[in-house]
Amino acid sequence: MNTKTLLNDMQHAGALSPGQFTLLDELHRNRRYSFHGELRTAVYLGVLLVAAGVALTVREYFARLGDIAIIGSLTTGCLAAFSYCFLKGGPYSHEAVESPNILFDYVLLFGCTCFATAIGYVETQFDVLGRLWIHYLLLSASLFFFLAYRFDNRLVLSMALSTLAAWFGFQLSDAFEAFHRYYRESAIAYSAVSFGLGIALYRAGIKRHFLHVYLNFAVHFLLAALVAGVFEHRFSSWHLPALALAAAAVAVYSVRSRRFLYMLYAILYGFAGANALAIRFIDSTGTMFLYGIGTSLAVIWLIFHLSRKYREAA
């Protein structure tokens, strides 16, 4: 029995009113379409363009505008955005909280961008902390974490985690002089911290819906670091078995949580690691071309096949 027949039978049996039948029938035939996602994307892009415009203006015209005008404008924009959010935002809750309106999240994002631009400009022009400027990153990350949890905003949480990742990278690389030597270790350490923090907050019942933001960052940084190690050392280091175990763990979590995105991560990073090993044994351009085409098509087929399985199981 298809959906259309089932709806007709339910209406004839009196289980559905005419209005309910019409609504469900239109939904089934995809006659109704929500533009909510498109509107949110458009507003998000608009905020990013405004933020980019602010940064370009500061870069191109700082000599003409003067330090006071630039810092004052950025500070005003930051304070105005944060004031709006505190005035319009609802009370804090450990659970998910709906935004008051579609612009709210992006006003908050704009305020965070102005804050980051302002402190970056101050340090660039006046060199307040010198080589200790990385502590600005930790300060910014702390503020973004607070705002993300206060206003239940995943975008700002992503900014906080990105800023924390930058702090980790510089902090653990011997005052940035040997960053190229320790970037993998920094990425793995950051992955462990972000994963542990996300799990701890989830178990504490604090914004449990944020868990997958933490997991996305942890998975990407861990797998990218391990793939980089495989590319450099091939079979002669621990990176290869660690990559295999990590990709398998991510795939198992994907199956258990029924989230295809994590399976996609496992496939793509595993494919990258396999390529790092395979290209060492390919000694001709033609063979390399055939290998690339064949394996890419196989991976694409696997992704589409598994995505269909996930949709059918949903």
Q: What is the mean pLDDT of the chain?
A: 83
pLDDT at residue 287, as a whole number: 86
Q: Which residue has the tokens 């350490």?
A: 189
The answer to whether residue 60 scores a pLDDT higher than 60 is: yes
- Does residue 292 register a pLDDT over 70? yes
> Residue 40 carries which side chain, given as an amino acid letter?
R
Query: What pLDDT is attached to residue 33?
Result: 46
Q: Compute the residue count for the chain.
A: 314
pLDDT digits (tens, 9 = 90+) for 118-129: 888 888 878 777
Of 23-37, 90-104, 192-206, 248-262, least confident by mean pLDDT is: 23-37
Rounded to an integer, what distance in angstroms lies between the CA atom of residue 292 and that of residue 275? 9
Contact 24, 7 (CB under 8 A): yes
Q: Return the amino acid letter for 297.
A: L
Decide if pLDDT at 43 tops 80: no
Please, are residues 267 and 250 in contact by the beta-carbon 8 Å criterion? Answer: no
1: confidence class by pLDDT, cuts 50, 70, 90? very low
Gap between the Cα atoms of 284 and 123, Å rounded: 51
- The count of other CB atoms within 10 Å of the CB of residue 254 is 20
Q: What is the pLDDT of residues 248-263, one digit of tens each?
A: 999 999 999 999 999 9
Segment among 5-9, 130-134, 260-264 with least mean pLDDT: 5-9
Q: What are phi and psi of 175, to 5 degrees?
A: 55, 40
Q: Rounded to two decimals, what is the model's pTM?
A: 0.80
Does residue 175 carry a pLDDT above 70?
no
Residues 139-150 have a mean pLDDT of 95
Please give the pLDDT value at position 236.
Answer: 84
pLDDT for 32 equals 47
- pLDDT of residue 109 exceeding 80, the answer is yes
Average pLDDT over residues 198-222: 95
- Residue 173 contacts residue 126 (beta carbons within 8 Å): no
Q: What is the pLDDT of residue 12?
A: 72
Provide, rounded to the nearest whole percent, the portion of the chain with pLDDT above 90: 42
- Which residues are CB-contacts of 24 (< 8 A; sequence separation ≥ 6)? 7, 16
Mean pLDDT across 224-252: 93
What are the C-alpha distances in Å from 148 to residues 108, 210, 270? 9, 10, 32
Type of residue numbered 274: A
Q: What is the largest CA-CA distance in the chain?
A: 77
pLDDT tens for 300-313 read: 999 999 998 888 77
Residue 134: is its pLDDT beyond 70? yes
User: Got the DSSP string for the chain?
Assistant: --HHHHHHHHHHTTSS-HHHHHHHHHHHTT-----HHHHHHHHHHHHHHHHHHHHHHHHHHHHHH-HHHHHHHHHHHHHHHHHHHHHHS----SS----SSTTHHHHHHHHHHHHHHHHHHHHHHH-SSGGGTHHHHHHHHHHHHHHHHHHT-HHHHHHHHHHHHHHHHHHTSTTTTTHHHHHHHHHHHHHHHHHHHHHHHHHTTSSGGGHHHHHHHHHHHHHHHHHHHHHHHTTSSTHHHHHHHHHHHHHHHHHHHT-HHHHHHHHHHHHHHHHHHHGGG--SHHHHHHHHHHHHHHHHHHHHHHHHHHHHH-
